[in-house]
Structure 1
Amino acid sequence: MTRKIKISRRETLQAGAISLLGLNLASLSTLKSLSAAEESHADKGAGQYRSCIFIFLFGGPSQLDLWDMKPDAPAEIRGEFQPVATNVPGIQLCEHLPLMAREMDKFCLLRSMTHKMNVHGPACSEIYSGREYFGPPVTDQAKPEDWPSLSSMVTRFGQSHDGLPPAAVLPWYSQFVGQDKRIAGQTGGRMGENWNPFLIQGDMSKSDFEVQGMQLPVDVTANRFARRADLWSRLNELAPPKIASAAPSVRLDKNYDTAWQLIRNAADSNAFSINREPEPLRERYGKTKFGQSLLMARRLVENGIPLVTVNWDDDSKFDKVSPHWDTHHDNFKKLKDGLCPVFDRAYSALIADLADRGLLESTLVVALGEFGRTPRIGLVTQNGMTEPTGRDHWPHAFTALLAGGGVRGGQVYGATNKTAGYVDDKPVTPADLSATILHHLGIDPHLTYYDEFQQVERQLSIGSIVTDLG
């Protein structure tokens, strides 16, 4: 016997709405977090500044070889590189970061980052979320009980401007090649996946790059899209009041309203149109995925998006032993020939560009990895594939770069011992860093959310705001 299924008029309208507006399911899924963000509760009095660019150097860069060099240490500790002077007397950087050396007066070397986790995924989670990992470090990959990321917290509690999202992530969610899921701690997790940040995925260095979901189909003009939105609104009025006011119906309506606002405002502001940037400026950042991602990040904060996370990505992802900044072998060659030139060019261009536009004072720029590297070359602490030419994972002391947002440039904050292996002064934890970023964005770190996994209220951050950076 064939069972008849009754479909209401409301359900019929909802089913046809995607094609009616010229959108697709992928676009709508991406936009869910934006409509959710309309329910934000920003504490407008808590912070003075409005934007943050959070640069995540996936893999964990070597503090000893880049920005906390120990030239008087034994050769097996200090490594092959030489320190060079910067434009700030008394502060030195690696010889392979010459452009950054010229901008040292604009950023701070926070040399006292520290935590205890030496496994990639859980350590990444601690940096992204500001919380100690919740269980044994048996996987790198995301789990439903992950702590919510900073970008998800800002999506929920931050303020959106002109219909743009409060938080965006680009050019991808960090993930190891060969693993099924993204790295832990990058989305809403136990706060709810509906608070995931807006993901801008792809290689922005390509000439045909477009943000998915921001362009109408070729046969749908702006006027036609507006007429379809108006028709959707009229048809919506036909639904019985009980159905129209139901939570799923209200949420769907919000999704479509957000889709319309985002497409309209994106077109008006050209926030996502990186190809509008002058070619000399694009060259200044470097025509790499990372360089153009930083340029896009500048465009987004310039147009009012409070938090933009830029995850490092490059072709070394296919190296099974030493992807990205995870230099288990050929540490010095990989830094000198591949990693340093790209980062040096892009980071220095971003800092100078923000300063030139008068945006550096209002934009906090944070750059760090999930941990540092071992003081002794070839020492195995976690990964048995570490070779005599590499450095293994080391979470006990590493460096974060901070610029803008009231942070005084040209300073070193905190200190490590003679081998850069342990913090001697002013330790800063991932929790402290998350509290500081939230405060900067005007979000009270003591606000709470409901933990769907353990069914309790949780503070956004349990860290202490670092108050003496100015």
Structure 2
Amino acid sequence: MSSIITPSKLVRCAGPLSWSRRSFMQVGLSGFASLTWPGLLKLRAENAVKPGHERKAIIMVWLPGGLSHLDSYDPKPEIGSEYRGPFKTISTKVPGTHFTELLPHHVRIADKFTVLRSMNQKAGGHPAGSMQMLSGDADTRDKPKPRLPDWMSVAHYLRSKEGKRTNPLPNYIGVNPPLEYNGPAYLGDAYAPFSVTDDPNRPNFQVPNLGLADDAETRRLSERVALRKSLDKMERAFDREGELGALDEFETQAMTLLTNPQTRDAFDLNKEDAATRDRYGRNRWGQQLLLARRLVESGVEMVTSSLSGPLCGRVGNWDDHAVNHHQFEALRFRMPNYDQAVAALIEDIYARGLDKRVLVVVTGEFGRTPKISFDRSTGAGDASAPAGTLQPGRDHWPRAFSNIWAGGGIQTGGIIGATDKRGEDVIERPCGPGDFLATIYHHLGIDSSKITINDLNGRPTPIVDHGRPIAELVV
């Protein structure tokens, strides 16, 4: 059976769903008093020797629904109007490399990142496509929940086994994280992200459960912990396995997360000067990526950030079917904020000396159809005409798409791979989800060819069962 999904089968897709789920943000002080939070922390760590080398980190910027490669990093100006969008191409700082006019900030710093134009995968739906890219699940069928843990949860799990961290911040944080179609699966919710769901651009932005307001609140929390310990005193005598003693370590971590000023400072965007905040963009996406940079500087090792919501247009994602958005008006609407925020993040990674330690990856689950389709809008809104208006769109296209890579010590300023004259298929240096994941793991010091994790049935499951690190992107 062909893995290619035709536009006619996809045109009514409403885009990625925003499924509700529990996150650490919902755990309050009452949960702490009942040891729910320390209990989760307990699941996250095992005794080991702390590594002596500097820990690598990664920021993944996720574009749910998929960016059109023809209208961004892989333009095809010579093809016919039924494929070519209305955007002109412009020369980048790298001789011979062109992007569309939608990316003027990227053009200016093109020597600081590499474009992979030959990414492809086999699933045409949002769930299966996301699972292929984030967990390596080769199944092309859409499933309601992931069978395999995503790379972020796997890296969090493996890093937690390496030794006790002294950093009070969570090791895996999602700033508006991509929670659709991915998660920790059989690793359990202890390895899900600490989720920051508030808008960092709001004047009163705050992260609940990080830091306490004053000394009195800290004292009250300490008194509650002391009371619990006194109630545990008799139980401890019967604790043959030493579990209560071990729990103290994780309770201490939770206390540190609440009381250490470093936790609050890392999330405090007011500590950035106004010019820096302006450079990223005074909007949700800009401040999300600025916060991501602050977090990796503070020692967080995995940060994910989904560029979704109202800044995308009417349906809140990059899923530019004609029924959802006017494809080209949607790009005009969202790309200035995208271009500014991503370019500022990449610039800062280098300017602040993070470029060897921190890898930045920007991708979605697939691209969009090179051939433009037309259908009637299902509703008026940003980047969409009134219902019933015929407008252009592009549908799902997993056969060829682009993503970008920066930092991580890699050689930048280049193009990897190529697509054919219409951008329909990869014709040079094809790379799949396994290669994508193996490259990320390699940066984090994880040999994905050798590591397995037992699933719920106790079966050893490879974290990547196909693919290898992309040679042009590893050091």
- From 266, 277, 281, the equivalent of 1:286 is 281
State whether residues 308 and 318 of structure 2, in contact with CA within 8 Å, keep that contact through their aligned partners in structure 1: no
Give the 3-state SS of the residue equivalent to 2:70 in structure 1: helix
Give the drift of 1:87. 1.1
Task: Name whichever of 292-301 and 74-83 sits farther off.
Answer: 74-83
- Aligned position for 1:24: 30
Q: Which residue of 2 aligns with 1:197?
A: 193
- 2-structure distance, mates of 1:415, 1:236: 64
Question: What amino acid is the match of 1:450?
Answer: N
Equivalent residue for 1:335, pick from 318, 324, 331: 331
Which whole-Å deviations, capped at 9, do the CAs of 1:218-268 have from their partners, x for residues lacking one? 684334444544554454333243347475x57864553221122234546
Deviations 1:322-355 (CA, angstroms, capped at 9, x unpaired): x42111121111101x221111010111111121
3-state DSSP of counterpart to 2:82: helix
What is the distance in 1 between the residues matched to 2:166 and 2:294? Answer: 14
Return the match for 2:452 from 430, 448, 451: 448
Match of 1:275 in 2: 270
Work out the CA distance in 1 between the residues paired with 2:273 and 2:82.
Answer: 45
1:340-359 matched pairs, under 5 angstroms? 340-359=335-354
Query: Distance in 1 between the 2:329 and 2:191 partners?
Result: 40
Q: How does 1:30-429 map to 2 (within 5 A)?
A: 33-39=40-46, 50-133=56-139, 136-137=141-142, 139=143, 141=144, 143=145, 146-158=147-159, 160-174=165-179, 183-185=180-182, 187-216=183-212, 220-243=216-239, 245=241, 253=248, 255-267=250-262, 270-315=265-310, 319-320=314-315, 323-329=316-322, 330-336=326-332, 338-378=333-373, 389-429=392-432
Matches of 1:41 and 1:428, distance apart in 2: 35
- 1:83 Cα deviation from its structure 2 partner: 0.8
- Provide the C-alpha distance between the structure 2 equivalents of 1:417 and 1:194, rounded to a whole number of angstroms: 44
Q: Secondary structure at the match of 2:405?
A: strand
Query: Are the equivalent residues in 2 in contact too, given 1:120–1:370 (CA < 8 A)?
Result: yes
* SS of alignment partner, residue 116 of structure 1: coil
TM-score scaled to structure 2, two decimals?
0.82
Who is 1:7 aligned against?
Answer: none
Question: Residue 158 of structure 1 aligns to a residue in which SS?
Answer: helix
C-alpha contact 2:137 2:147 (8 A) present in aligned 1: no
Aligned-pair identity (%): 33
User: 2:43 corresponds to which letter in structure 1?
Assistant: A
Corresponding pairs, count: 427
> Considering only aligned residues, what root-mean-square deviation do their CA atoms show, in Å?
3.0
TM-score normalized by structure 1? 0.82
Question: Which 5+ residue runs of structure 1 have no aligned equivalent?
Answer: 1-20, 175-182
Q: Secondary structure at the match of 2:294?
A: helix
Specify the code of the residue in structure 2 equivalent to 1:115: Q
Name structure 2 gaps, 5 residues minimum.
Answer: 1-26, 379-387
Question: Aligned partners of 2:410 and 2:390: how far apart in 1?
Answer: 38
Equivalent-residue separation in structure 1 for 2:39 and 2:425 (angstroms): 43
Q: Counterpart of 1:468?
A: 472
